[in-house]
Amino acid sequence: MKHQIKVEPQGTILYCEGGSILLNVLQQGGFMLDATCGGRGRCGKCKVWAESDEWDGKKEILSCTTAVNSDLLVTLPVQEKFLDRKSMLLKTHTFPVELNLTKKFLKVKKASIEDGKGDVERILAELKLDRQVNLAVTKQAMEILAKSKEGITVVFDDQELIAIEQGDTTNEFFGIAFDIGTTTVVGSLCDLITGKVLVTVSATNPQRQHGGDVISRITYANEGAGNTEKLQEEIVACLNEIINKLCKEAKVCTKHIYCATVVGNTCMHHLLLGLNPTQLAIAPYVPVVQRELRVNPEEIGLKINKQGSLYVLPNIAGFVGADTVGVILATGLERVSEPTLAVDLGTNGEIVLNSGHKMVACSTAAGPAFEGAQITYGMRAAEGAIEKVEINNGTFKLKVIGNSKVKGICGSGLIDLIAQLLKHGVIDPSGRIVEPDLLSSDMAFLMERLRSNGKSYDFVLAFPEESLSGEPIVLKQKDVRELQLAKGAILTGIRMLLREVGLNMTDLKQVYLAGAFGNYVEVESVLGIGLFPAIPASRIKAIGNGAGIGAIKALLSDQEKERAELLAKNIIHLELASKPEFQDEFIQSLRFPVQTSVE
Amino acid sequence: MKHQIKVEPQGTILYCEGGSILLNVLQQGGFMLDATCGGRGRCGKCKVWAESDEWDGKKEILSCTTAVNSDLLVTLPVQEKFLDRKSMLLKTHTFPVELNLTKKFLKVKKASIEDGKGDVERILAELKLDRQVNLAVTKQAMEILAKSKEGITVVFDDQELIAIEQGDTTNEFFGIAFDIGTTTVVGSLCDLITGKVLVTVSATNPQRQHGGDVISRITYANEGAGNTEKLQEEIVACLNEIINKLCKEAKVCTKHIYCATVVGNTCMHHLLLGLNPTQLAIAPYVPVVQRELRVNPEEIGLKINKQGSLYVLPNIAGFVGADTVGVILATGLERVSEPTLAVDLGTNGEIVLNSGHKMVACSTAAGPAFEGAQITYGMRAAEGAIEKVEINNGTFKLKVIGNSKVKGICGSGLIDLIAQLLKHGVIDPSGRIVEPDLLSSDMAFLMERLRSNGKSYDFVLAFPEESLSGEPIVLKQKDVRELQLAKGAILTGIRMLLREVGLNMTDLKQVYLAGAFGNYVEVESVLGIGLFPAIPASRIKAIGNGAGIGAIKALLSDQEKERAELLAKNIIHLELASKPEFQDEFIQSLRFPVQTSVE
């Protein structure tokens, strides 16, 4: 029996068979609901309000665990307009252009009985070139020479004639650098003549509806025939939407976009190219391909000039992808002579160490805690998110994005919060939220924020009157554990890389912190939670969206592409889980640092 | 108002609007009717029998000039099974193989934690190769490594890895050479390991329904938007049908066909590639492209392995196409040291002269007379066609294909006939069929075959009782004129090429006669009609389907491809019509040679 589902506020009517899972019905109907946990009823991101004749009034339900057994009136949550931090970091830069991709304006003689050369041959004669051309260029020669009195513009990739345009279009020459994150996708439109980043826009990765992390995407890809293709279609559609937005904003015609680059983790890389990611999730975690790929845009349906090309940066390993290569391009990590570390904080933490002599890399399953996911009131950086916490002089102060009432807490806010709570003894080094009577006397004002839930204590961040929903916003013990696991994973990776090259934490002369997140978090807080113990704050440098910057550099420079290829070949990848000392290191890394004093 | 058309013997029912042209309706319904004249009501090849309630009994009508104004019962002519002369000449040869296209069998190590290289990287490591691969190969690496325990076969084009196959398929490696004629299309399946021509099949060029010669095809291409694409679809479908037949006959799988070559005149070349042929018909007659093209099979829809490639041989000029290049490859014309001529007799006559020092080429609009078209009872070499004529000892003898009653006369029969009639004074050197009383006394037995039609005389080849239709089969004065124009055109071309390099007819040491036709015609008859005056018969050599042989040689050898490219660049093309002496030469060339004696 079919049931009707009316979706508000859009007013759309959907139909489904009885017993269908509401989340699937909504997703198939084109409504993108987050399902960070992959529809396993855990993350709570797919909550909707629903009404039915079968029950009383409105109920908030998890759409991923609701089977539709009656007609429903569903109200979707208001879409958050999250802060576009990743793209904000990419604006108004200019990079050096070193490209073999070039344009040239040309006038071509008309054919005559004396000079009866073919269209293609007359163009090549003008260029003093004798090479094969492809069929697409041959067709353009025919079409454009026939109507082009004013001259033509030829496009070269090195010595190869790849396209012909009518008239003088030498100044209309663009490329797009994509950074495909598991959560956020960013595209930057660049001028191939000036090297300027013209516009950057971002979008939520539509694959998010199948799960928030790479493992849930891989699981989804495996669940049904055609799912890999579906994931590919989704991400390609997202890139095409970004292309449209970029072109509209910069008033650029898509046909003048002759190249694109892509960075992303190995799973995002595989899904973009339609490569089955299954083996990434099974030991020995090998990717289908590591080296760079040059892809015909039409092969994957990317809507740039089809005679241009898409350069996909190389992967280092199954879990150290092209995004990490991008970070290295951005930092110049391979060129330093003293021990230097680059950490890309995301759902997976990728870590690369240059000892000064060799480069080693690993990845750690940090989980999405740094992005505010799987935290009870975690959310992305958007209006209503706590982004900073201060405990000072007997007061507890929050900085909330948009100066609104509190809705939740974002990743940088969470680190700040936990660092502050550690510092003031509300959380002890084992990660436990302490009982109120263990608080030091000058922290007594925090006592009212500690509320027992029977098993452990919750820390109240916002009381009902400060909260957007009217419900208290709290940090739960389990949330601290999530962050602890995440920071423990990263720290384990760092320690094992150092051990591999025979160095200590104190030998590190510089730590690059990549990820949009790194630019918004307080370095003191990062140190406070013990992500990088025993390093002076001055040695930590946030570099913003390193992966995205790397993609732009590679877009604008063939030398940077070569750098990327060399990096991917020469970096030694460490598979952490295969090392016998891994478990021990991990357990040691979970503890928070002992706080020295409270000023 | 719609009318119904029932088509017999198939029994198909078609519907059309009142006023539609019957030929178009039949063609759109999938019935391939010849329309050599391009539907201009001249060639009579589209005749069908039709019945209607509006008229009495069955009528034979020209479908191209019949507007449908009532329901019709149409009976199509029986399709001639023409003799496959072009393909008969290509069987059982073996040619040297010199290809950079190679296969290699390989075993690939499984991935492990210690060797966590990607699928592609493990294959390349086994090959000791470090190169980019494309996305298609990357996908194959993924699919095939997962299920291939016994090993894989890699396909290389030079150093480039172009495909991967499961298991050991090193002996399954094939290519197809196509010769696309205006009338007949021939394909030869070749073994890329042994160089053997395995099977050759031919088909009628389906574009024939839009006209028998290149000019009518160009006219059709110009008549409507999308017509060039339609002509392309037709020829590609024809090639795909040939591929299927070849593979079926040789028990070869199409996916093992990694390369194909194509020769054809410049118009056929353009139509295959979807290039508009319009400018070929307008001075200065320039092609879109002269040089060779390497085309992705999918770009034109050719159903061989999509990771293979189609090599299209270069054109020399607008009317001297890749087919002529093929003839030169077949003969080695560029390597001779003494004056040598190659003539390809077809709808267009292409002529190439190597003076021993330089090579010049031209084309002449010979028209389709040599193929039996535009001759009143002309037909292709098929059952019922006169293929040989002998006048001897007071008898007039015919050799008819299939020993059947006479239906018409094919090209080689026509030349034989006219040479014999010239020799015996029935036609005088001006080309006139003489009055009966001008016949010499010993030819009096031919008198009964000369019949006045008021204006001129017809020569009866078969009396009603010898004819399949029961009507007399005759040679008309206009038919002699058609042949005269054709041989005049060829002779003009030869004379002007010789003049260009400062040689005389008698300087020619060798003449290669290409075209299937050349193998079936008597050399004496060719000399008898004066196609090559003043040359001993021993210097004329028929080489069969030279264009097709050239396509096979290029298929099997990269050196032959290079030869083709050099030839196309270095041969000097002479545009006859632009020369002031052309008209005068042409008029002189029209006369038949004065017959020395009748033995």
In this structure, are A361 and A497 located in the same domain? Answer: yes
What are the structure tokens assigned to A386, written together?
A: 């706590």
* Residue B9 counted as domain residue: yes
Reported as a single tens digit per residue, the pLDDT across A340-378 is 999 998 777 899 999 999 999 999 877 667 777 789 999
Nearest residue in chain A measured CA to CA from B115 = A284
Q: Classify residue A90 as left (phi > 0), alpha (psi -120 to 50) or beta.
A: alpha
* DSSP-derived secondary structure letter, A290: -
> What are the Cα distances from residue B81, in Å, to A420, B283, B382?
93, 39, 6
Nearest residue in chain B measured CA to CA from A579 = B113
Last residue of a domain, one of A476, A501, A527: A476
Q: Which residue do the tokens 């002479």 mark?
A: B574
In this structure, are B141 and B242 located in the same domain? Answer: no
* Residue B324 counted as domain residue: no
Facing residue for B289 by CB, picked from A120, A285, A575: A120
What is the rounded end-to-end Cα distance, in angstroms, of chain A? 67
Q: Residue B599's pLDDT is what?
A: 41
Flag if A118 and B315 touch (Cβ within 8 Å): yes
Residue A286, SS3 per DSSP: coil
Q: Residue B598's pLDDT is what?
A: 44
- Please, are residues B486 and B437 in contact by the beta-carbon 8 Å criterion? no
Q: Give the gap in angstroms from C-alpha A549 to the nearest C-alpha of chain B.
A: 24
Rounded Cα distance, A105 and A170, in Å: 7
A188 versus A212: the higher-pLDDT residue is A188
Helix (H), strand (E) counts: chain B: 15, 26
Q: Give the gap in angstroms from C-alpha A121 to the nearest C-alpha of chain B.
A: 7
B contacts of A317 (beta carbons < 8 Å): 116
In this structure, are A358 and A488 located in the same domain? Answer: yes
CATH number for the domain harbouring residue A71: 3.10.20.30
Rounded Cα distance, B182 and B178, in Å: 13
B contacts of A321 (beta carbons < 8 Å): none
Q: Give the gap in angstroms from C-alpha A575 to the nearest C-alpha of chain B.
A: 7
Q: What is the CA radius of gyration of chain B?
A: 27
In this structure, are B254 and B139 located in the same domain? Answer: no
| pTM: predicted TM-score of the whole model, two decimal places | 0.85
- Please, are residues B89 and B552 in contact by the beta-carbon 8 Å criterion? no
CATH number for the domain harbouring residue A362: 3.30.420.40
B contacts of A135 (beta carbons < 8 Å): 273, 293, 295-296, 299-300
Type of residue at B428: D
Q: Residue B463's pLDDT is what?
A: 95
Interface residue of B138, B271, B302, B310 to substitute, partner A, most A CBs within 10 Å: B138
Pair type for strands B47-51 and B2-8 = unpaired
Last residue of a domain, one of B476, B511, B532: B476
Facing residue for A113 by CB, picked from B287, B289, B575: B575
Type of residue at A97: V
Flag if A113 and B283 touch (Cβ within 8 Å): yes
Rounded Cα distance, B553 and B195, in Å: 9
A599: pLDDT strictly greater than 50: no
Helices (H), B43-161: 85-88, 119-126, 135-147
Strands (E), A481-525: 510-514
Rounded Cα distance, A237 and A302, in Å: 8
Q: Which residue do the tokens 């090959």 mark?
A: B127
- Please, are residues B317 and B287 in contact by the beta-carbon 8 Å criterion? yes
Q: Which residue do the tokens 């034109």 mark?
A: B300
Query: How many residues are recorded in chain B?
Result: 599
Residue B77: cis peptide before it, omega within 30 degrees of 0: no
Flag if A293 and B142 touch (Cβ within 8 Å): no
CB neighbour list of residue B39: distance below 8 Å, 6 or more residues apart: B21, B23, B24, B46, B64, B210, B211
Residue A472: cis peptide before it, omega within 30 degrees of 0: no
Counting Cα atoms < 13 Å in the Cβ hemisphere of B347 gives 27
Reported as a single tens digit per residue, the pLDDT across A325-344 is 999 999 999 999 999 999 99
Rounded Cα distance, B70 and A531, in Å: 90
* Residue B489 counted as domain residue: yes
Facing residue for A275 by CB, picked from B138, B283, B293: B138
In this structure, are B183 and B271 located in the same domain? Answer: yes
In this structure, are A362 and A502 located in the same domain? Answer: yes
* Residue B326 counted as domain residue: no
Q: Give the gap in angstroms from C-alpha B134 to the nearest C-alpha of chain A.
A: 6
Pair type for strands A340-344 and A510-514 = parallel
- Please, are residues B495 and B518 in contact by the beta-carbon 8 Å criterion? no
Flag if A111 and B275 touch (Cβ within 8 Å): no
In this structure, are A531 and A497 located in the same domain? Answer: yes
Q: For residue A131, count other CB atoms closer than 10 A to its CB.
A: 10
Residue B455 domain boundaries: 376-476
SS (H, E, C) A420-456: HHHHCCCECCCCCECCHHHCCHHHHHHHHHEEECCCC
B contacts of A573 (beta carbons < 8 Å): 116
Chain-wide mean pLDDT for chain A? 90
Counting Cα atoms < 13 Å in the Cβ hemisphere of B523 gives 14
Query: Of the given ranges (A311-320, A400-409, B91-100, B548-557), which has the lowest mean pLDDT?
Result: B91-100
Q: Residue A598's pLDDT is what?
A: 44
Residue A401's φ and ψ, nearest 5 degrees, are -60, 130
In this structure, are A406 and A346 located in the same domain? Answer: no
What is the rounded end-to-end Cα distance, in angstroms, of chain B? 68
* Residue A520 counted as domain residue: yes
Q: What percent of chain A is predicted at pLDDT more than 70? A: 94
Flag if A139 and B294 touch (Cβ within 8 Å): no
CB neighbour list of residue A567: distance below 8 Å, 6 or more residues apart: A314, A316, A325, A328, A329, A334, A359
**DSSP letters spanning B290-345:** -S-EEE-HHHHT--S-TTSEEEEPPPSBTTB-HHHHHHHHHHTGGG-SS-EEEEE-
Facing residue for B135 by CB, picked from A119, A295, A575: A295
Rounded Cα distance, A279 and A347, in Å: 19
Q: Residue A393's pLDDT is what?
A: 86
- Please, are residues A360 and A500 in contact by the beta-carbon 8 Å criterion? yes
CATH number for the domain harbouring residue B158: 3.10.20.880
Name the strand (E) or helix (H) holding A551: helix A546-556
Q: Give the gap in angstroms from C-alpha B138 to the nearest C-alpha of chain A.
A: 7
B499 versus A150: the higher-pLDDT residue is B499
Pair type for strands A12-17 and B72-75 = unpaired
CB neighbour list of residue A425: distance below 8 Å, 6 or more residues apart: A434, A438, A439, A440, A443, A595, A598
In this structure, are A274 and A233 located in the same domain? Answer: yes
Rounded Cα distance, B371 and B410, in Å: 7
In this structure, are B181 and B291 located in the same domain? Answer: yes
Q: Classify residue A431 as left (phi > 0), alpha (psi -120 to 50) or beta.
A: left
CATH number for the domain harbouring residue A193: 3.30.420.480
A contacts of B133 (beta carbons < 8 Å): 289, 291, 293
> What are the Cα distances from residue B217, in Å, to B23, B210, B371?
16, 6, 17
The answer to whether the complex's ipTM is over 0.90 is no
- Please, are residues B161 and B106 in contact by the beta-carbon 8 Å criterion? no
Q: Residue A28's pLDDT is what?
A: 75
Name the strand (E) or helix (H) holding A16: strand A12-17
What are the structure tokens assigned to B280, written together?
A: 């070929």
A92: pLDDT strictly greater than 80: no
Handedness of CA B210, B216, B217, B219 (dihedral sign): negative
In this structure, are B145 and B216 located in the same domain? Answer: no
Pair type for strands B385-392 and B395-400 = antiparallel
Rounded Cα distance, A272 and A236, in Å: 7
Looking at the structure of chain A, the number of domains it has is 4
Rounded Cα distance, A457 and B258, in Å: 70
* Residue A121 counted as domain residue: no
What are the structure tokens assigned to B16, written together?
A: 């059309």
* Residue A108 counted as domain residue: no
User: What distance lies between CA A513 and its chain's CA centroid?
Assistant: 15
- pLDDT tens sequence for chain B (599 residues): 788 888 887 777 888 888 888 888 887 776 767 666 767 777 777 888 888 888 877 888 888 888 888 888 888 776 555 555 555 555 568 899 999 999 999 999 999 988 889 999 999 999 999 999 999 999 999 999 988 788 999 999 999 999 999 999 999 999 999 999 988 899 999 999 999 999 999 899 999 889 888 888 999 999 999 999 999 999 999 999 999 999 999 999 999 999 999 999 999 999 999 999 999 999 899 999 999 999 999 999 999 999 999 999 999 999 999 999 999 999 999 999 999 999 998 777 899 999 999 999 999 877 667 777 789 999 888 889 999 999 988 899 999 998 889 999 988 899 999 999 999 999 999 999 999 998 988 888 999 999 999 999 999 999 999 999 999 999 999 999 999 999 999 999 999 999 999 999 889 999 999 876 667 788 889 999 998 867 898 999 888 889 999 999 999 999 999 999 999 999 999 988 788 899 999 999 999 998 765 44
* DSSP-derived secondary structure letter, A29: T
Residue B386, SS3 per DSSP: strand
Rounded Cα distance, B171 and B193, in Å: 7
Query: Of the given ranges (A10-14, A229-233, B577-581), which has the lowest mean pLDDT?
Result: A10-14
In this structure, are A413 and A302 located in the same domain? Answer: no
Flag if B118 and A573 touch (Cβ within 8 Å): no
A contacts of B134 (beta carbons < 8 Å): 293-295
> What are the Cα distances from residue A445, in Å, to A405, A406, A450, A462, B130?
21, 20, 10, 14, 66
How many A×B Cβ pairs under 8 Å? 132
Flag if B291 and A141 touch (Cβ within 8 Å): no
* Residue A427 counted as domain residue: yes
